[in-house]
Amino acid sequence: MWHWLVETLRGNPEIAIFLTLGLGFWAGKLKFGSFSLGVVTSTLLAGVLVGQLEITISGQVKSTFFLMFLFAVGYSVGPQFFRGLKGDGMQQVLFAVLQCAAVLLTAVGMGYLLGYDAGGTAGLLAGASTISAVLGVATGSIGQLSIEAGDKQAMLDAMPVAYAVTYLFGTAGSAWVLATLGPKILRVDIAEECRKYEAQMGGTLADNPDRLTAYTQFILRAYRLTDASWVGRTVREFEASFENQRVFVERLRQDGQLLDPAPDLRLRENAVLAIAGRREAVLERALQIGEEVDDRELLDMELERLDVVLTRKELVGQTLQQFSAGCARREPARGVPAPRPAHRRGAASHLGPEAGAG
């Protein structure tokens, strides 16, 4: 049975590729307490395991999939890289150059001490620094060496094995370097910078995380509709009456039923409205709506708080008030209160400190 399986995989290497992916994704989702290998690391290790069966993969297939991988990585992180250069990019560039030099010298030195050839050292460098592009560069360089074809193939075979084995350690090591040596090189206090950033983005309890505040900027209150002028009018019209404010009817009780109101739903007398919005906007109009009621079932809904990062270029330079006005015109944005209009540029990367139930 084992002989049949090995011969089948050798004769059909595409099955071996998908078997490796399947094992990698399965093992990557396993957790031992809080520890998990992750899909990338487990797939690499599965490739090393399946590769022990001496399965030959076409060079064209290797190159194609490797180039696809590099393209996907560059496509996803490239724009972020260039945007990052606009700020304190030069410090980051200098740190990156220093780290690359340190990683290169360390890998070459260890390869020399352990007696690795060029392929093993290249795999060590690629895995330890988690830079798969090194494999492509090393493959091209080894192919140009004036040595026997068998020696070249031995180097190429050693390269992915060294890469897969050291990748896991490279991931943890990189995190340690960035968290420990990085701040010292850049001469910054990470804890202090985090406190400053939290204060800038609206946090006020960083010094005492056990302290709570009773004040909330956004509220959800229930009011019985007693103002006859609103009877027969739509939910959309009611929400629009809060000029320059994002106030929403999140839910209502009408004719004995709990409803998630559509914008065109018409209001009836004595309907109980669950209204969400900024505290001052809701309380300012409370007496005009009707009496406040304690309707636990109506108000028992899930709220979600989200940090939103803007990536669309056309939004750059807008104030939060302009951005909120644009959101108000989009139906999917219903139920999301806006930050205070007083806030302006500089906080656009952190919107909606407490989003509504939408």
Catalogue all structural domains in the chain, each as residue range(s) with its CATH number: 88-188 (no CATH), 218-302 (3.30.70.1450)
Instruction: Report the candidate in 264, 347, 273, 358 with the shortest Cα–Cα distance to residue 310.
Output: 347
Instruction: Report the candidate in 301, 284, 133, 305 with the shortest Cα–Cα distance to residue 203.
Output: 305
Which residue in this structure is represented by tokens 């959101």?
Answer: 327
Burial of 166 (0-12, 13-18, 19+ CB in 10 A): buried
Q: In the prediction, which pLDDT does 87 show?
A: 62
Q: In the prediction, which pLDDT does 272 show?
A: 92
Q: Is the pTM of this model over 0.85?
A: no
Q: In the prediction, which pLDDT does 1 show?
A: 77
Q: In the prediction, which pLDDT does 337 show?
A: 59
Q: Which two tokens stand for residue 206?
A: 């960083």
Q: Phi then psi for 224, rounded to 5 degrees?
A: -85, 130
CB of 69 within 8 A of CB of 44?
Answer: no
Burial of 247 (0-12, 13-18, 19+ CB in 10 A): buried
CB of 107 within 8 A of CB of 163?
Answer: no
Q: Which two tokens stand for residue 155?
A: 């180097």
Q: In the prediction, which pLDDT does 97 show?
A: 86
CA atoms of 89 and 99, how far apart (whole Å): 15
39-51 vs 149-176: helix crossing angle, rounded to 10: 150
Q: In the prediction, which pLDDT does 211 show?
A: 65
Q: In the prediction, which pLDDT does 223 show?
A: 92
CB of 158 within 8 A of CB of 135?
Answer: no
- Tens of pLDDT along the chain (358 residues) come to 777 887 888 788 888 888 888 888 888 888 777 667 777 778 877 877 777 777 777 777 777 877 887 788 777 777 776 666 666 667 777 888 888 888 889 888 988 998 888 888 998 888 888 787 788 788 888 888 888 888 888 888 888 888 888 887 777 777 777 778 888 888 888 888 878 877 776 555 445 556 667 778 888 899 998 888 888 899 888 888 887 777 888 889 998 889 888 888 999 888 999 988 888 888 888 878 888 999 889 888 877 777 777 777 788 787 777 776 666 555 555 666 555 544 333 333 333 333 333 3
